[in-house]
Chain A
């Protein structure tokens, strides 16, 4: 029998370590969560996750996350576009600043945003004059979510945009297409897989964001209370099963959403499948 050459040296060891890590760091906590939630009977479980307060928190979280992601989609794409296509003084600084929301402790971001957007803050003051209140409203939640998740869109789109062959746009021009139609029919479709990946990460992060939001949200049940906070409140009340039940809803949502975006990505990339 011929010995098959291995792709990588030391594969069994590397694979073993990786699997153990995945098991300990990812699967085990999730399993514990499901296990804890399962300790409730079906009726109790349903009662907890469908309580008015919980449902209101889902509504607040999902609506704000959708709005924040939509904002990030537009703003993140244009930020990536500017960083890739233009050379201007301070570009490297802006490029470095994009990562700041990742590097900053979210609580610090939350406190900073609250200070800025409170009615006596730099932004909140002028905004309150024209009747817009940000801090302690759903708008504040959106601001915090956008802030913490914008890097996902920029950093997924940026490399794809950099690799985009300029000849594609030139080809469009020689064929008589306007800049707008080149953007819509050539560039955007090629960026779609990256945009979807960025959107799904940004949305998932917004759903799960906690630290930055609780400072600016005001946390009023039924209006500005996010699901993650509700789970935390149950935890502080030592009601572990209820906390786990609420968390399991978030977990399921995250899974479903990742599955949907993966499917959409595969569709957007179907032209790369070799026939």
Chain B
């Protein structure tokens, strides 16, 4: 099922508002809404589900305008951040709930068969008669997914699906969710504030800030060509140097970087800590080492440029220099933006 958001607006008295978001999601696509807290990503998801009403704009499921269809008739599967399993029902009863309350009458045998099928799908066959309080967080999340899938939703929506889980469980579940999605081919939209999760799982990432889409594209596009300094910063560790832009070049401490198409004035250069090489031969921005931090697989070096701007970069564990040593920062893949 194709989903289209057309200039959707939601106003709240507090934050989390959404200002005119338009978005197309293709049938069978797995899309991540990525943004910091308060960026409006969960509100967008809830509007698609019908748990929140848009103040303006429209939401289409295929060609049908779904904006005013109430949540219970919208046919979405929603997985809540904290699972929202019914604690007084067993795993099996939780999964059967949607089929039991449905207007489409199913025989108890048909429901039982479907429950078994879904338990097999989420690999929890032995846990049918347990209560949610008796299983682990990762298992609860899978039950929540099975419950949402039980009603054959047109769209699957997941709100921070792995937010409350341990890092290891999270990685396993991510790969597993991707597998399930590929098997079922259901259009899926999920919300996360974890860029690694979004990049790992999604076909396409939609990055939001302050209720607006700042960039959307494949993980490769957003990683390699971040649209602005916010995206660059949000996707990972980034260094930022103040620069002056003159005639298509960005100048920092006497070194010039390419800055095609950016108007003259103050600007900024952003780059990843892994994209810096420490040199002693005079190539790059002059700096001195302030501190060396040891990590299991690398050394993180904190340096200060001559103009007093801090830079962090990663080196091999064998990096021989110490605090106070002077040298030069050779920067690869710099991203130049106009000042915010």
**What A residues does B89 contact at CB under 8 A?**
271
Q: Is the CB of A181 within 8 A of B101?
A: yes
Q: Using A176-B73, A272-B133 as known contacts, say yes or no to A171 and B78 having CB atoms under 8 A apart.
A: yes
Q: Is the CB of B88 within 8 A of A178?
A: no
Q: Is the CB of B84 within 8 A of A165?
A: yes
A44 sits at the interface (CB 8 A): no
Q: Is the CB of A174 within 8 A of B77?
A: yes
B60 sits at the interface (CB 8 A): no
Interface hub of B51, B74, B76 (most chain A Cβ within 10 A):
B51
Q: Is the CB of A272 within 8 A of B84?
A: no
A130 sits at the interface (CB 8 A): no
B332 sits at the interface (CB 8 A): no
B14 sits at the interface (CB 8 A): no
Q: Is the CB of A165 within 8 A of B71?
A: no
Cα of A225 to Cα of B338 in the assembled complex, Å: 89
**What A residues does B77 contact at CB under 8 A?**
174
Cα of A165 to Cα of B76 in the assembled complex, Å: 20
A190 sits at the interface (CB 8 A): yes
Tally B residues with Cβ within 8 Å of A: 33
**What A residues does B78 contact at CB under 8 A?**
170-171, 174
**What B residues does A25 contact at CB under 8 A?**
none
Within 8 A of B (CB), among A164-192: 165, 167-168, 170-178, 181, 185-186, 189-190
Q: Is the CB of A178 within 8 A of B72?
A: yes
Q: Is the CB of B87 within 8 A of A174?
A: no
Q: Which residue of A lies closest to B130 (CB)?
A: A275
Q: Is the CB of B80 within 8 A of A167?
A: yes
Tally A residues with Cβ within 8 Å of B: 22
Q: Is the CB of B84 within 8 A of A167?
A: yes
**What B residues does A87 contact at CB under 8 A?**
none
Q: Using A178-B101, A271-B133, A274-B133 as known contacts, say yes or no to A173 and B84 having CB atoms under 8 A apart.
A: no
Q: Is the CB of A190 within 8 A of B87?
A: yes
Q: Is the CB of B151 within 8 A of A171?
A: no
**What A residues does B147 contact at CB under 8 A?**
171, 175
CB B80 to nearest CB in A, in angstroms, measures 5
Cα of A156 to Cα of B191 in the assembled complex, Å: 37
Q: Is the CB of A167 within 8 A of B82?
A: yes
Q: Is the CB of A271 within 8 A of B151?
A: no
Q: Is the CB of A176 within 8 A of B72?
A: yes
Q: Which residue of A lies closest to B93 (CB)?
A: A185
Within 8 A of A (CB), among B61-116: 71-74, 76-78, 80-82, 84-89, 97-98, 101-103
B259 sits at the interface (CB 8 A): no
Cα of A32 to Cα of B89 in the assembled complex, Å: 47
Q: Using A165-B82, A189-B88, A190-B88 as known contacts, say yes or no to A174 and B51 having CB atoms under 8 A apart.
A: yes
CB A178 to nearest CB in B, in angstroms, measures 7
**What B residues does A176 contact at CB under 8 A?**
72-73, 98, 101-103, 151
CB B205 to nearest CB in A, in angstroms, measures 24
Cα of A173 to Cα of B77 in the assembled complex, Å: 10
B37 sits at the interface (CB 8 A): no
Q: Which residue of B lies closest to A186 (CB)?
A: B86
Interface hub of B72, B103, B133, B147 (most chain A Cβ within 10 A):
B72
**What A residues does B81 contact at CB under 8 A?**
167
Cα of A168 to Cα of B88 in the assembled complex, Å: 11
**What B residues does A275 contact at CB under 8 A?**
130-131, 134
Q: Using A170-B51, A175-B97 as known contacts, say yes or no to A271 and B88 having CB atoms under 8 A apart.
A: yes
Within 8 A of A (CB), among B160-199: none
Q: Using A167-B84, A171-B78, A174-B77 as known contacts, say yes or no to A271 and B49 having CB atoms under 8 A apart.
A: no
**What B residues does A177 contact at CB under 8 A?**
72, 97-98, 101
Cα of A189 to Cα of B88 in the assembled complex, Å: 7
Q: Is the CB of B72 within 8 A of A271?
A: no
Q: Is the CB of B134 within 8 A of A174?
A: no
> A175: which of B101, B131, B132, B134 is its contact (CB, 8 Å)?
B101
B148 sits at the interface (CB 8 A): yes
What 0/1 readout, one digit per residue, does chain A (244-275) give for beta carbons within 8 Å of chain B? Answer: 00000000000000000000000000011111
> B131: which of A171, A172, A178, A271 is its contact (CB, 8 Å)?
A271
CB A96 to nearest CB in B, in angstroms, measures 27
CB A231 to nearest CB in B, in angstroms, measures 41
**What B residues does A178 contact at CB under 8 A?**
72, 101
Cα of A189 to Cα of B131 in the assembled complex, Å: 14
Q: Is the CB of B101 within 8 A of A274?
A: no
**What A residues does B51 contact at CB under 8 A?**
170, 173-174
What 0/1 readout, one digit per residue, does chain A (174-214) give for beta carbons within 8 Å of chain B? Answer: 11111001000110011000000000000000000000000
Q: Which residue of B lies closest to A193 (CB)?
A: B88
Q: Is the CB of A170 within 8 A of B80?
A: yes
Q: 12 extra interchain contacts, Cβ-Cβ under 8 A, other than A170-B80, A272-B131?
A: A167-B84, A170-B84, A171-B84, A171-B86, A174-B51, A175-B72, A175-B97, A176-B98, A176-B103, A176-B151, A190-B88, A271-B133
6 A-B residue pairs with CB within 8 Å = A170-B84, A171-B80, A174-B71, A177-B101, A271-B132, A274-B134
The 9 closest A-B pairs by CB, nearest first: A175-B98, A167-B84, A177-B101, A174-B78, A271-B131, A171-B84, A275-B134, A167-B80, A173-B71
